[in-house]
Amino acid sequence: MTRKSMAALFCLLMLVFATTAFAQQNIDKSNLTPEQILKGQDDFTNGFADQEMEFTFNVYDVNGSLKKYDAIIQQKGRDKRLIRFKSGEVKGMSILTEENNRMYVYLPGYKRVRRIAAHNMNQSFVGSDYSNNDMAACDYSRDYDAVKNKEDDKFWWLTLTPKAGKKMDYSKLVMKISKDVFRLWETEYYNHKGELVKVFSIEEPKDFGTKVTWPPQVQMKDARTGHKTVLEIHTFKVEQGLKDSMFTQRYLQWAR
Amino acid sequence: MRKSLYLTGMLMLSFFLSRGVAFAQDEEKKWYDMVDFQGYLESDLRFIVDDWRGPTDGDGYKFQMNRNDLDLRLGITPFETVRAVVDTRLRMYGFSEADTMQGLNKRETVDPFAIYLDEAYVHVQGLGWEGMDLKVGRMVQNWGTVDQFNPTDNVSARDLSDPLDSFAKVPNQMIEIDLYPADWLTLNFIWVPVFKPSMLPPSANLGFAIGYDENGCFKDLPTPPMKIEYMEELMNMFGAIDPCSLNFVDPEMQIVSPDLKIENSQAAAKAKFLVGPLDFSLSYYYGRWSFPVPATGYAGVDNNAEDPNMLDVKYIVELTYPRIHVAGFDFSYSADWFFDVGFVGEVAVFFPEKVDFALRAFQNGNLIIDKVNNNVPTTPFVKATGGFDYTFTSWLYLNAMYVRGFLDEFNDMYGIHNYVVMAWELKFLEDELQFRIAGIFGPDDMSGSFQPRITWVVVPSVELFLQGQFYFGDEDSNNPLDFKAKDKLAWKPVGRNIVALKAKVSW
């Protein structure tokens, strides 16, 4: 699983989790353009005032070995994000993203908060290949043009290609989006050679006790090697009224 | 005995707390949420791979460390705005200290240990005003933006007792008030009532060791911070004497610590600003330089009471901690316009207290040498570090710095020197295997050191390390009479060439 895969995984995860006043609105979905569907996805991603998710990050190597890390992500709006690792050799490490992608990391071994430069967005961390970039907000409608391939009673299939002038990691994405709540069920990723490199999929959503249902697991599988990463979702909460003060360096020091 | 009681108490406390947490899970989840628990167990085996950097030639190729650390860190958040942290460490040294039959009866001499209280503080948020925090207790401060070589970071003394852990600090009791008046501004005020000095490497004593030749006869004195002509005069005192007739008592290094008066306490303030891609701070520190500075020397030569052909020589040096004012500036900047490189830097202007070095030598009670020269002038001096880091690929990372003034350099007679610091990190197999090679090079004297390290994350939480520390350059001063003539990083007191095998389990 590459860091790019993980970035995509995180984005897709957030899409899956996103819920939606938009989806519950009484709109005529039969006439939505591909751009509107994609825009809906972006709105889903940041559709909550705040959200919190506890999960286990399961990395399966091709030889079957498994690495697990527990973590919690809290997010407010589009820009404020706090990730804390709860297990493994990085337990206690926290990463804060403030507005304008200003990022800080708290390293328990050094007992200090350090600013992360932009190049570090591509750096993997936590002893896994999860990069800072994986935490970045996703805005597909900003970066991709969409074409509707087909649809049935339950799903749309969109093909996404980078907008002119946009340098993206993939030449093409194929998304399968449900019509009920605009949930993303599957995505295929194609590299610049046109090869299928990985596939994202989710399990049947279940009730987490919130006003919407969520998939208990999401999976990203490398189409070439068979390597896969599974996020096992334990809790998902929304609209808890998370304070702005939680997304500050002050809190980063406080929670250590 | 007291240590044993302390240890027993700590372990019982940990047990009951863990039980408490378990009960709380069943009965009331909120109690579970109030407590967080971290720690690690680390086993550290080190071997000296030289026999030329010790107190005598031929001393080496032996185990240097056989240590185990058990760290227990407990955080309690009884209220939303109150948090207490206790971080204790049990250290088992692994080498028997029993040198008598009686010692074999005591576990603490056969298997010596120590208990450290690395942190113990209370943190209160929103004290009187939503934007004000108070922290009181035992803690460390880490100021500055660069790694390790932080000239603006003077509140907490360094713990250099472990050459492989140069980030460690000496915890101290302090009171900290933090103000958050705006998103872009943070103010810190710290008061440290009692001064604590930095801890030195075990090899530091070699800086004051008497030199002997291959016959075990006196060769040279440790070089004090004196003018060369004064040193020549001192050596002439011994020059007329058969060096094999000199019976040197081990030199005494006497530390003159500041007394406990309130005027010896330390104060520091910092204002941190966030301006777009730039974070910067202005800081001020008033306190003491935490590394000892030689201030007086005493050399006494007396006839040996039993052997008229021998002379007893006693050498005593007093070391002090001079007062300093430090004005600092640090920054970190993410250059989006230049490959997203991260730049960091710190500049500190030191205003030191004057330190003179006075040497008096006596022969059979008669004063024969009485010299004084300046060791640390009051002239302000600058220490600075600037550097960058960059991630080339997901598996290759570089951190490079220029350092003006090593950690312990204080513009004494040795002066302030230049260094280049570089660390490469390579990660493979999804970060399970990591290589790190770090090095420090001093172009002023062409000495340096490098520290290779291999880390294997066996499974999450379990790490194995194979690492080393190696020095290069000329260990011997090219002029034993000149305090400035040593090659800094090759100098024996800096440390031994070692390899280490560590295992660490975190929870």
Confidence check: pLDDT of B446 > 60: yes
> What ranges in B183-339 are assigned the alpha helix state H?
228-239
Beta bridge partners of B399: B389, B423
Question: Taking residues B139-144, what's their average pLDDT?
Answer: 96
Interface mutation vs chain B, best among A60, A86, A111, most B CBs within 10 Å = A111
Amino acid making up residue B241: I
Question: Taking residues A181-207, what's their average pLDDT?
Answer: 88
Q: Which residues of A touch B334 (CB under 8 A)?
A: 115, 117-118
Percent of chain B with pLDDT over 70: 94
Confidence check: pLDDT of A17 > 50: no
Q: How confident is the model at residue B213 (pLDDT cuts 50, 70, 90)?
A: confident
Shortest distance between the Cα of A9 and any Cα of chain B, in A, equals: 16
Q: How confident is the model at residue A224 (pLDDT cuts 50, 70, 90)?
A: confident
**Which position has the token pair 């312990």?**
B408
Query: What pLDDT, on the 0 to 100 scale, is given for residue B475?
Result: 84
| Residue B391 placed within a domain | yes
Query: What pLDDT, on the 0 to 100 scale, is given for residue B223?
Result: 85
What is the ipTM, given to two decimal places? 0.81
Query: What pLDDT, on the 0 to 100 scale, is given for residue B337?
Result: 84
Query: What pLDDT, on the 0 to 100 scale, is given for residue B308?
Result: 84
Interchain proximity A119–B279, CB inside 8 Å: no
Confidence check: pLDDT of B284 > 50: yes
| Residue B286 placed within a domain | yes
Residue B24: phi and psi, rounded to 5, are -60, -35
Alpha-carbon distance of B455 to B276, in angstroms, equals 36
Confidence check: pLDDT of A229 > 70: yes
Interface mutation vs chain B, best among A57, A93, A119, A248, most B CBs within 10 Å = A119
Q: Which residues of B touch A110 (CB under 8 A)?
A: 142, 167
Q: How confident is the model at residue B436 (pLDDT cuts 50, 70, 90)?
A: very high
| Residue B161 placed within a domain | yes
Alpha-carbon distance of B163 to B46, in angstroms, equals 11
Query: What pLDDT, on the 0 to 100 scale, is given for residue A214?
Result: 82
Alpha-carbon distance of B419 to B409, in angstroms, equals 12
Interchain proximity A1–B430, CB inside 8 Å: yes
Question: Of the candidates A3, A112, A121, which has its C-beta nearest B142's C-beta?
Answer: A112
Residue in chain A closest to B425 (alpha carbons) equals A123
Distance (Å) of CA B403 to CA A175, B167, B423, B425 = 52, 16, 14, 20
Q: Does A148 touch chain B (CB under 8 A)?
A: no
> What ranges in A53-96 are assigned the alpha helix state H?
none
Q: Is there a single domain that holds both residue B208 and residue B331?
A: yes
Q: Residue B183's CB: how many other CB atoms inside 10 A? A: 11
Q: Is there a single domain that holds both residue B60 and residue B195?
A: no
Query: What pLDDT, on the 0 to 100 scale, is given for residue A217?
Result: 92
Question: Taking residues B296-310, what's their average pLDDT?
Answer: 88
Question: Taking residues B201-209, what's their average pLDDT?
Answer: 88
| DSSP-assigned letter for residue A194 | S
pLDDT in tens, B244-257: 888 888 788 899 99
| Residue B110 placed within a domain | no
Interchain proximity B430–A108, CB inside 8 Å: no
Judge contact between A236 and A52, C-beta under 8 A. Answer: yes
Residues 383-422 of B with CB under 8 A from A: 389-391, 393-395, 397
Shortest distance between the Cα of A82 and any Cα of chain B, in A, equals: 17
Confidence check: pLDDT of B92 > 80: yes
Beta bridge partners of B468: B499
Q: Is there a single domain that holds both residue B13 and residue B67?
A: yes
Q: Which secondary structure element, helix H or strand E, spans residue A239, and what is its range?
A: none
Query: What pLDDT, on the 0 to 100 scale, is given for residue B27?
Result: 46
Q: Does A60 touch chain B (CB under 8 A)?
A: no
Judge contact between B26 and B63, C-beta under 8 A. Answer: no
pLDDT in tens, B377-405: 999 999 999 999 998 887 899 999 999 99
| Residue B25 placed within a domain | yes
Buried b (16+ CB within 10 A) or exposed e, B93-129: ebeeebeeeeeeeeeeeeebbebeebbbbebbbeeee
Confidence check: pLDDT of A21 > 60: no
Query: What pLDDT, on the 0 to 100 scale, is given for residue B68?
Result: 97
- Report which of B154, B502, B496, B199 is spatially closest to residue B324, judged by C-alpha positions: B154
Q: Does B80 touch chain A (CB under 8 A)?
A: no
Alpha-carbon distance of B486 to B480, in angstroms, equals 8
Query: What pLDDT, on the 0 to 100 scale, is given for residue A3?
Result: 46
- Output the six-digit token pair for B25: 């899970």
Shortest distance between the Cα of B412 and any Cα of chain A, in A, equals: 30
Residue B276: phi and psi, rounded to 5, are 55, -130
Q: Which residues of A touch B145 (CB under 8 A)?
A: 114-115
Domain ranges of chain A: 3-254
Query: What pLDDT, on the 0 to 100 scale, is given for residue A131?
Result: 54
Q: Is there a single domain that holds both residue B130 and residue B83?
A: no
Alpha-carbon distance of B84 to B138, in angstroms, equals 11
**Which position has the token pair 């190729």?**
B61
Residues 40-79 of B with CB under 8 A from A: 75
Mean pLDDT of chain A: 79
Confidence check: pLDDT of A5 > 70: no
Choose between A112 and B291: higher pLDDT: B291
Residues 166-225 of B with CB under 8 A from A: 167, 178, 180, 183, 186
- Output the six-digit token pair for B351: 């205003």
Structural domain ending residue among the three candidates B52, B82, B98: B98
CB pairs under 8 A between A and B: 106
Least confident of A90-104, B314-328, B354-368: A90-104
Work out how many domains chain B is built from and give that number: 2
Question: Taking residues B437-449, what's their average pLDDT?
Answer: 95
Shortest distance between the Cα of B178 and any Cα of chain A, in A, equals: 9
Choose between A214 and A235: higher pLDDT: A235
Beta bridge partners of B79: B82
Question: Of the candidates B140, B397, B460, which has its C-beta nearest A67's C-beta?
Answer: B460
Confidence check: pLDDT of B2 > 80: no
Highest mean pLDDT among A21-30, A72-81, B364-373: B364-373
Interchain proximity A122–B391, CB inside 8 Å: yes
CA B96 to chain centroid, in Å, comes to 25
Shortest distance between the Cα of B162 and any Cα of chain A, in A, equals: 15
Least confident of A137-146, A242-251, B140-149, B369-378: A137-146
Least confident of B24-28, B139-143, B359-363, B412-416: B24-28
Q: Does A254 touch chain B (CB under 8 A)?
A: yes
Interchain proximity A89–B463, CB inside 8 Å: yes
A119: helix, strand or coil = helix
Interchain proximity B186–A123, CB inside 8 Å: no
Q: Does B365 touch chain A (CB under 8 A)?
A: no
Q: Which residues of B touch A115 (CB under 8 A)?
A: 145, 279, 332, 334, 342
- Report which of B451, B441, B391, B444 is spatially closest to residue B415, judged by C-alpha positions: B444
Q: Is there a single domain that holds both residue B66 and residue B172?
A: no
Choose between B480 and A32: higher pLDDT: A32
Residue in chain A closest to B463 (alpha carbons) equals A89
Question: Taking residues A53-61, what's their average pLDDT?
Answer: 87
Contacts with B458 (C-beta within 8 Å, 6 or more apart), sequence order:
B432, B464
**CATH number of residue B429's parent domain:** 2.40.160
Percent of chain B with pLDDT over 90: 66
Q: Which residues of B touch A250 (CB under 8 A)?
A: 125, 133, 178, 180, 186
Residue in chain A closest to B132 (alpha carbons) equals A250
Choose between B369 and B405: higher pLDDT: B405
Alpha-carbon distance of B439 to B108, in angstroms, equals 38
Residue in chain A closest to B272 (alpha carbons) equals A249
Judge contact between B157 and B290, C-beta under 8 A. Answer: yes
Mean pLDDT of chain B: 89
Query: What pLDDT, on the 0 to 100 scale, is given for residue B411?
Result: 94
- Output the six-digit token pair for B248: 């040197």
Q: Does B506 touch chain A (CB under 8 A)?
A: yes
Interchain proximity B342–A127, CB inside 8 Å: no
Alpha-carbon distance of A84 to A254, in angstroms, equals 13
pLDDT in tens, A125-169: 554 445 565 555 567 888 899 999 999 999 999 999 999 987 777
Q: Does B460 touch chain A (CB under 8 A)?
A: yes
Interchain proximity B394–A131, CB inside 8 Å: yes
Residue B2: phi and psi, rounded to 5, are -65, -35
Alpha-carbon distance of B440 to A39, in angstroms, equals 52
Q: How confident is the model at residue B15 (pLDDT cuts 50, 70, 90)?
A: very low
Residue B286: Cβ-neighbour burial (10 angstroms; 0-12, 13-18, 19+): middle
CA angle B451, B454, B460 (to 5 degrees): 135
Question: Taking residues B480-503, what's their average pLDDT?
Answer: 91
Confidence check: pLDDT of B287 > 90: yes
Interchain proximity B133–A250, CB inside 8 Å: yes
Q: Residue A165's CB: how many other CB atoms inside 10 A? A: 5
Q: Which residues of A touch B165 (CB under 8 A)?
A: none
| Residue B120 placed within a domain | no
Q: Is there a single domain that holds both residue B74 and residue B150?
A: no
| Residue B359 placed within a domain | yes
Residue in chain B closest to A68 (alpha carbons) equals B460
Question: Taking residues B478-499, what's their average pLDDT?
Answer: 89
Question: Taking residues B484-490, what's their average pLDDT?
Answer: 88
| Residue B114 placed within a domain | no
Task: State the residue range of the domain holding B2.
Answer: 1-98
A3-254 CATH: 2.50.20.10
Q: Is there a single domain that holds both residue B138 and residue B186?
A: yes
